Structure 1
């Protein structure tokens, strides 16, 4: 009987030790640098936002948050790298609208974002701006629509890849305006803007942080902002709804941080607290707003709910709007 009691006692001690280990480990987190993977190339809204937010999160966490770009493949390879990473909080994903929209654009996905990723924090929402090369003979969004209708399929529009804000917003604009144009996907926001400036493509619904330097320098002409109201960053540019005569047209993107599924909740909470602290910093708020982003924040559940709503919204839109689907 005594032997049984000793064995039982040892088992209880072992169980308590293993149960306590994750909690103790989470309390020590982070003890080394954290990778923040951006599934796009440099120059796009996700990359710009990541590089603005990372230093403030580093300060809050006491460890460096290193931005790592993994562009290409409509953000899928970079996202998959996070899905397959150890759920220890040291590999995170900073992504955007494509995460919710890709299931309607690709017949097969290597992961289920709703199940395979854990939400950490919604960072910001951001509208796009319809921009063209100044050499294109249009003075307004209505002129662009008229040109497209006069020559169906002759114009093309660029994007940072399938599922990017550029792609989705342009597809919705084309459907709302009743025009046809060819989609030219790139591997990132920087590359598409380079070709728009060079005159290789006709128009882009560029996210504001990417578009602003080009518009301010006169290298591109802004015809309309895609959000429900004018942007403080471009107060003289009308909304697309106003400029193109499309009442009710309003779309915008978002940026958020996710972790691999099964990341311990104490670790998620620490990461969320760091993001929340960063988003309360006046310096960061000013930088984000100057580029047209609207800082958000909130609990992980807020991003989880927002992501679910976005996924459902794009699924419903796919039944009404013809999105070009990749194989």
Structure 2
């Protein structure tokens, strides 16, 4: 390349860089100047939907702009996620995510998006614990005894789930791999159906959300063994973690929630959203609502939540492959 042309190209690049930063700053200063949409890749009425509407209402009040929640359910959340991945990179389309965001690509051939490459994190909200519970007739009182029983049992113990790829399923799969025991998943249409069979003694155990399990634990109809998250659940503070109870360091499964957006949304807009949502999460009524949902708040900014999502994607890709689960 001639030196004159090379100098011209370099000058153009420098000018482009010089204008990019002020432009991004100006975009953030005027953001938002029209409605924002939050895509929920599930039907209305669930926990993901409830969180999205709670945060959306607070953002709308703060920004003076409508924040519209759009439910685009189907294919385990992948339909709504696909729509969000193809949205303009302007920060006006957000996606409320949960564990399926990092699991679906390993379970479904039809998924065309990548949770790490096609999205960037805005804010992590926190996690809901699952708790391994058993029917009182099962002769175990803690996780160590459960593992010992599973190792000597002539047939695998059964555990109920709300379906393939759910946090219930992953909780049991990871326990089986880390403790080197055989467990058989029994998938149901939802947690309530599985819980009914557990209460009737038709299955051995279930990783059930702490909110659903606590009432039956108090009445003695279910026995808690351990929670699946890295720290104890505020709803069940006396129940140890699996890592504690079974001496399995690194065991961690939770139903986490957060917001992401298209991968090329400018940094300044993402930082603005994250800072505002962090403040929203400190509001007393928001904390109270999170508590009723069983959510243990853990605000994560963009960098931390991005790292978390990448770690979850890598972990579950490995676990699913090791389990021999073939994408459908």
Q: Tell me if structure 1 keeps the 8 A contact 2:115–2:309.
A: no
User: Which of 170, 179, 184 matches 1:181?
Assistant: 184
Q: Tell me if structure 2 keeps the 8 A contact 1:240–1:249.
A: no
Scaled by the length of structure 1, the TM-score of the pair is 0.74
Q: Tell me if structure 2 keeps the 8 A contact 1:209–1:293.
A: no
Write out aligned runs for 1:15-164 (5 A). 26-41=28-43, 45-107=47-109, 109-132=111-134, 137=138, 140=141, 146=149, 150=153, 152=155, 155-159=158-162, 161-164=163-166
> Structure 1's 218 and 30: CA in aligned 2 closer, same or farther, altered over 3 A?
farther
Write out aligned runs for 1:239-250 (5 A). 239-241=241-243, 245-248=246-249, 250=251
> Structure 1's 128 and 51: CA in aligned 2 closer, same or farther, altered over 3 A?
farther
- For 1:6, the equivalent position in structure 2 comes to none
Distance 1:217 1:66 in 2: 41
Q: Tell me if structure 1 keeps the 8 A contact 2:174–2:251.
A: no
Deviation, structure 1 residue 276 = 1.3
- For 1:305, the equivalent position in structure 2 comes to 307
Deviation, structure 1 residue 169 = 1.4
SS at match of 1:297: strand
SS at match of 1:248: coil
Deviations 1:174-215 (A, max 9, x none): 3334023134164xxxxx122123328734323435555665
Please tell me the root mean square deviation across aligned C-alpha atoms, in Å. Answer: 3.7
| Structure 1: gaps of 5 or more residues | 1-14, 187-191
Distance 1:126 1:170 in 2: 16
- Larger CA deviation: 271-280 vs 37-46: 37-46
SS at match of 1:85: coil
Deviations 1:96-126 (A, max 9, x none): 2232233333456311221211211122134
> Structure 1's 274 and 262: CA in aligned 2 closer, same or farther, altered over 3 A?
same
Deviation, structure 1 residue 95 = 0.8
Deviation, structure 1 residue 41 = 4.1
> Structure 1's 231 and 91: CA in aligned 2 closer, same or farther, altered over 3 A?
same
| Structure 2: gaps of 5 or more residues | 1-15
Q: Tell me if structure 1 keeps the 8 A contact 2:122–2:270.
A: yes
Deviations 1:52-92 (A, max 9, x none): 43333333333343434434423222211211223332321
Deviation, structure 1 residue 171 = 0.8
Deviation, structure 1 residue 257 = 0.8
Deviation, structure 1 residue 246 = 4.8
Deviation, structure 1 residue 278 = 1.2
